[in-house]
């Protein structure tokens, strides 16, 4: 199969990380923090590590000490864990629609949506596509804190050689979850580039993941790595064999349905284990090669889908490092059939994000149906194709994609 998950992880990394942890212990956290910051051209003191990207966002917003009535602007195309942070902090949100043909709001749309009550704006870089114009927005609205959602965008820059995603606003948060460009199981980071805000920020006390939670993360990572390696029939047989016992024993680490629905609150005080940090270090040290590989794969997809009669490609500026390659179907009703065709080719495509507040059926804190029509239409039409180490397509698969693409 050609999978987008654990897309920078090799089997050897498990053994190498274990050895690094046995030798370095707690020092793996400091080393990962310093090298992650350096990969973005930032000092180590600008980065804090957390057990998830949502925990990093929660820590930053909580430190801002916002009041009732203060307003937060969110993109009209996001993951449910982002608005849930503000719901758990008792803050109201309002959504800004994305641009036609793209997956992020424009700087102009954000500026037009800012009101006298706005205190925070979350600026996304969905799929690794950069939202440009953030420097100008900060200059125009100096009293507002712009927080970048860089969960999809580790390594992406604003233009060739420009600043990295997550360093353009006052702060940014990253995710190291299974499906991200760098995978530690679960994990995340907060980067505060604004020196005044950095001096004010007091990191919360964090809890070390216990043995059971750490084991579930490791087993889930190993499962996803296995999925990336197995051919379709073998994977299907293994899934049937292991699905029930793995869930019954609680061996799969995943976001619970109660959190997606808003019925439960995640543990925002969860920290990153040093063993997970060691696993991240293994991938981090391949950063330049991993980013170059994603760029080369995205360029190949560009060539295949240029002039397609079935798909619309988003504009991608120089410097983008994509998490997944997003496309919009010109006829959304074809999506189910197309996904079946891609599966038959052995390509694990996805419909990610399938809602203005992904995933479909989750809580839409503060969202009113029809508020972001472009985002709603994108959710109905989007598919995304895999990138990364385990997304190396065969010649037959490339031919199959060309057939599916069609030509105008």
DSSP string, 139-151: HH-TTSEEEEE-T
**What is the count of structural domains for the chain?**
1
Q: What is the pLDDT of residue 247?
A: 55
pLDDT tens digits, one per residue of 23-48? 999 999 999 999 999 999 999 999 99
pLDDT tens digits, one per residue of 115-138? 999 999 999 999 999 999 999 999
Classify residue 406: in a domain, yes or no: no
Classify residue 88: in a domain, yes or no: yes
For 228, the token pair is: 């990336």
Q: What is the pLDDT of residue 249?
A: 45
Do the Cβ atoms of 305 and 365 come closer than 8 Å? no
Closest among 41, 57, 46, 2 to 155, alpha carbons compared: 41
pTM of the model: 0.94
For 80, the token pair is: 């449910």
Classify residue 334: in a domain, yes or no: yes
Helix intervals (H) in 267-365? 274-284, 287-305, 335-344
Dist. CA 365–CA 94, nearest whole Å: 9
Q: What is the pLDDT of residue 209?
A: 82
* Residues spanned by the domain of 387: 1-401
Q: What is the pLDDT of residue 176?
A: 97
Specify the CATH number for the domain of residue 156.
Answer: 3.40.640.10
Residues of the chain with pLDDT under 70: 1-3, 229-254, 407-408
Helix intervals (H) in 25-166? 27-39, 53-63, 81-88, 107-113, 134-140
Give the position of tokens 């997304």. 391
The secondary structure of residue 177, as a DSSP letter, is B
Classify residue 407: in a domain, yes or no: no
Classify residue 170: in a domain, yes or no: yes
Helix intervals (H) in 64-123? 81-88, 107-113
Q: What is the pLDDT of residue 215?
A: 84
Do the Cβ atoms of 187 and 181 come closer than 8 Å? no
Classify residue 408: in a domain, yes or no: no
For 1, the token pair is: 């199969």
Q: What is the pLDDT of residue 130?
A: 96
Give the CA count within 13 Å in the CB-facing half-sphere of 244: 3
């Amino acid at each position: 199969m050609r999978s987008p998950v654990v897309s920078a992880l090799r089997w050897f990394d498990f053994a190498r990380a274990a050895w690094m942890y046995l030798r370095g212990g707690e020092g793996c956290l400091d080393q990962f923090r310093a090298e992650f910051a350096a990969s973005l051209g930032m000092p180590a003191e600008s980065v804090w590590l957390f057990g998830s990207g949502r925990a990093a966002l929660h820590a930053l917003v909580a430190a801002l000490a916002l009041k009732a009535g203060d307003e937060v602007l969110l993109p009209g195309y996001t993951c449910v864990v982002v608005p849930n942070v503000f719901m758990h902090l008792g803050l109201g949100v309002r959504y800004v629609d994305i641009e036609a043909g793209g997956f992020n709001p424009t700087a102009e749309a954000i500026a037009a949506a800012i009101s006298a009550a706005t205190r925070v704006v979350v600026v996304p870089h969905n799929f690794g596509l950069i939202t440009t114009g953030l420097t100008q927005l900060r200059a125009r609205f100096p009293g507002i804190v712009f927080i970048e959602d860089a969960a999809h965008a580790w390594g992406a820059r604003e233009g060739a050689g420009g600043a990295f995603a997550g360093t353009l606003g006052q702060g940014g948060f990253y995710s190291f979850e299974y499906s991200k460009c760098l995978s530690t199981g679960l994990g995340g980071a907060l980067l505060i580039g604004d020196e005044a805000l950095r001096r004010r920020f007091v990191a919360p006390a964090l809890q070390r993941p216990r043995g059971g939670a750490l084991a579930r993360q490791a087993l889930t990572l190993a499962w996803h790595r296995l999925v990336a390696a197995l051919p379709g029939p073998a994977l299907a047989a293994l899934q049937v064999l292991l699905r029930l016992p793995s869930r019954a024993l609680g061996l799969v680490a995943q976001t619970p349905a109660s959190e997606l629905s808003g019925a439960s609150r995640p543990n925002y005080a969860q920290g990153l284990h040093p063993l997970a940090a060691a696993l991240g270090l293994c991938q981090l040290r391949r950063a330049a090669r991993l980013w170059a590989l994603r760029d080369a794969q995205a360029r190949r997809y560009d060539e295949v889908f240029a002039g397609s009669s079935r798909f619309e490609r988003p504009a991608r500026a120089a410097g983008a490092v994509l998490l997944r390659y997003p496309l919009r179907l010109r006829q959304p009703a074809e999506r189910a059939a197309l996904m079946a065709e891609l599966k038959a080719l052995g390509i694990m495509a996805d419909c990610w994000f399938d809602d203005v507040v992904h995933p479909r059926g989750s809580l839409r804190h503060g969202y009113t149906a029809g508020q972001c029509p472009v985002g709603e239409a994108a959710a109905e039409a989007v598919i995304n194709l895999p990138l990364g180490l385990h997304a190396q397509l065969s010649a037959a698969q490339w031919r199959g994609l060309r057939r599916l693409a069609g030509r105008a």
